[in-house]
Structure 1
Amino acid sequence: MNRVILMGRLTRDPEIRYSQGERSMTIAKYTLAVDRRGRRNQDNDQSADFINCVAFDRAGEFAEKYFRQGMRVLVSGRIQTGNYVNKDGQKVYTTDVILDDQEFADSKSAASNMGSGYAQSDPSQRPVPDSAIGDGFMNIPDDVEDEGLPFN
């Protein structure tokens, strides 16, 4: 089984290209900085892996429209390896994650408050719906029929 799930921050805005041919397709490439768990390095900085991701078609269009440098995103897909010979005649090996799914990992307000830094999301800053009760559930208006709810 070849399945990858990653959460990290975009190191820069996605690079967008369009395929040639009968049906043009959007191809978005970006790199995620994924923190490593465990030990920190000597300077007490947490180390990260930089993972190349590729999104095609609608996923590529989504990345082009909404993803920006510094955003924390959650992606899933499969690892694909390849190789090519560069202009110096050296063989170069590549590893990319071909995405099936991608989504925001932070709330909209956390992303807008982030600015250009890599600030972490603060749960106390999340917006609370107007109809929320103290236990985290929303009030259901009296005029809603029970048959319209997804449970009994």
Structure 2
Amino acid sequence: MAASNINRVILTGNLTFDPELRSLPSGTSVCKLRVAVNTRRKNNATNEWEDKPNYFDVTVWGAQGENAARYLSKGRPVAIDGRLEWSEWQDKDTGKNRSKVEIVADTVQFLGGRDDNAGGGGGFTPRADVPTNTSDFGPPAATPQPVSTPVSTPADDDIPF
């Protein structure tokens, strides 16, 4: 039996524009999102940590896409759980082959409060994947040595059964 492959993406970030909802001729709804996710990297020239944004195209199908379009707006924080999908096509204008990788969302979780247009509200604060305070990476504190205690065996008359 062949091993199964895993294609899973989980990310949190903020929407870079309002959701775009459209319907296919079949009546199926499809919503397009673009999510910005910051990655923290150390600049070797300045020795400072800097945020570098990464942008991801997300497709949400059906009723979930309709809800995303109804309740989300630019700047809102979201959590996306989905899979990567690669597509290829030929550019109509230039005739060149084009391709892209996008995220097809299985679930979209709305983060923050309903009225948080700037994002980051409602108890959710986007965080980078590398902490700013690197003192957290110091040597570990000394761990206490385990104390051995003698094990006593009960006498036959101490057994409760």
With normalisation by structure 1, the TM-score equals 0.68
Indicate the SS of the match to 1:63.
helix
CA distance in 1: counterparts of 2:53 and 2:60, whole angstroms: 22
Indicate the SS of the match to 1:58.
helix
Q: Which amino acid aligns with 2:53?
A: A
- The aligned residue for residue 49 of structure 1 is 54
Higher Cα radius of gyration:
2
Give the strand-richer structure, 1 or 2. Answer: 2
- The aligned residue for residue 93 of structure 1 is 99
* Correspondence for 1:69 among 69, 74, 77: 74
Q: Is the 8 A contact 1:40 1:47 kept in 2?
A: no
- The aligned residue for residue 37 of structure 1 is 40
Indicate the SS of the match to 1:69.
coil
Q: Is the 8 A contact 1:8 1:73 kept in 2?
A: yes
1:28 and 2:31 aligned: yes
* Correspondence for 2:14 among 9, 24, 38: 9
* Correspondence for 1:102 among 105, 108, 111: 108
Q: Is the 8 A contact 2:41 2:50 kept in 1?
A: no
CA distance in 2: counterparts of 1:105 and 1:70, whole angstroms: 11
Q: Which amino acid aligns with 2:70?
A: K
CA distance in 2: counterparts of 1:50 and 1:83, whole angstroms: 19
Q: Which amino acid aligns with 1:32?
A: V
- The aligned residue for residue 132 of structure 1 is none
Unaligned runs of 5+ in 1: 124-152
Q: Which amino acid aligns with 2:113?
A: S
CA distance in 2: counterparts of 1:121 and 1:65, whole angstroms: 19
CA displacement at 1:108 relative to structure 2: 3.7
Q: Which amino acid aligns with 2:112?
A: D
CA displacement at 1:27 relative to structure 2: 0.3
Indicate the SS of the match to 1:60.
helix
CA displacement at 1:59 relative to structure 2: 1.1
Runs of 4+ with deviation above 3 angstroms:
40-45, 120-123
Q: Is the 8 A contact 2:40 2:50 kept in 1?
A: no
Q: Is the 8 A contact 1:84 1:92 kept in 2?
A: yes
Q: Is the 8 A contact 2:41 2:49 kept in 1?
A: no
Q: Which amino acid aligns with 2:24?
A: S
1:81 and 2:114 aligned: no
Work out the percentage of aligned pairs sharing the same amino acid: 25
Give the helix-richer structure, 1 or 2. Answer: 1
